[in-house]
Amino acid sequence: MKPMNIKIEQRKRVAIITLDRPKALNALNTALMQEMVSVMQKLDKDPEVGCFVITGSEKAFAAGADIKEMKDKSYLDMFHEDYFAGWEAFTSIRTPKIAAVSGYALGGGCELAMMCDIIYASTTAKFGQPEIKLGVIPGIGGTQRLTKMVGKTKAMDLILTGRLMNAEEAERSGLVSRVIPSNKLIEESLQAAELIASYSKTTVMIAKEAVDRATELSLREGVLYERRVFHALFATEHQKEGMQAFVEKRTPDFSKS
């Protein structure tokens, strides 16, 4: 079935997913989540897709989980639907995801950006976890991921006050890797995505997995894991091709798996 809440476009080896609920500032409802996950799971397996760019509109990346969808639910509704658990499949996508954020990235919107691997922000971006104002707390990993990304005191400041943080502060805090003028956000994000997608998809997936482990393993375990997968790459054609091309002073061809 054609997705109703997102747009999908492919440019070279990059799949661009645009959240498309403009009237609700791209609030994340269940239908949007299901569409995104289902489309991305298929593209994740496609060797012709080497990177995702996830974006929204000029005004809003996403203004949060859909408050109107949630507001009348009971505890038992939330518990039995395991509300938000569907987003775990999004985090399991192995192809890298770049969040290109303009405007509001609030609540679930900020959490969606943090579930991506890289966040690029336009100068207009505003990040926040304002759930406290609604009598709730972040529910798609915000208390955990934000704390790991910006540290305890900044996470507490944002989550307990509900205040918004601009792009410059977000970059200073380590949430965002680049701040880009808004008219260049998509172009620059695509350039980075195309570069990532030009490398060996296998190697990129393994590199991503190793970095992801860093937030969960001890340094010793993480370094051991890295060394083991580094060794494993020597079983791939792409290691042979990458290193042979260097020696022959030519561009490697990673198109053959």
Residues known to be catalytic:
65, 108, 111, 131
Pinpoint the alpha helices (H) of 45-107: 67-70, 75-81, 87-91
Instruction: Tell the smallest beta-carbon distance from residue 247 to ligand CAA (Å).
Output: 50
Pinpoint the alpha helices (H) of 45-151: 67-70, 75-81, 87-91, 108-114, 142-150
For ligand CAA, the closer CB: 65 or 150: 65
Q: Which of residues 88-117 bind ligand CAA (CB under 6 A)?
A: 104, 106-108, 111
Give the interface size with ligand CAA as a residue count (CB under 6 A). Answer: 21
Q: Report if residue 165 touches ligand CAA, rule: CB under 6 A.
A: no
Neighbours of 201 (CB within 10 A): 23
Interface residue with ligand CAA, options 50, 56, 96, 142 (CB under 6 A): 142
Dihedral Cα 184, 113, 211, 196, nearest 10 deg:
-30
Measured distance CA(191)–CA(100) in Å, rounded: 12
Instruction: Tell the smallest beta-carbon distance from residue 124 to ligand CAA (Å).
Output: 13
For ligand CAA, the closer CB: 87 or 254: 87
Q: Report if residue 56 touches ligand CAA, rule: CB under 6 A.
A: no
Measured distance CA(71)–CA(135) in Å, rounded: 11
For ligand CAA, the closer CB: 156 or 233: 156
Q: Report if residue 25 touches ligand CAA, rule: CB under 6 A.
A: yes
For ligand CAA, the closer CB: 24 or 190: 24
Interface residue with ligand CAA, options 31, 89, 134, 233 (CB under 6 A): 134
* Segment lying near ligand CAA (by CB under 6 A), choices 133-141, 193-201, 209-217, 228-236: 133-141
Give yes or no for a contact between 63 and 27, defined as CB atoms under 8 angstroms apart.
yes
Interface residue with ligand CAA, options 140, 146, 193, 206 (CB under 6 A): 140
Q: What does DSSP say about strands 126-128 and 104-106: parallel, antiparallel, or unpaired? A: parallel
Interface residue with ligand CAA, options 53, 65, 121, 146 (CB under 6 A): 65
* Segment lying near ligand CAA (by CB under 6 A), choices 21-29, 166-174, 201-209, 249-257: 21-29
Pinpoint the alpha helices (H) of 1-107: 30-44, 67-70, 75-81, 87-91
Neighbours of 61 (CB within 10 A): 30
Could you tell me which residues come within 8 angstroms of residue 31 by beta carbon, excluding any fewer than 6 positions away?
A: 4, 5
Which residues sit at the interface with ligand CAA, rule CB under 6 A? 24-25, 27, 63-68, 104, 106-108, 111, 130-131, 134, 138-140, 142
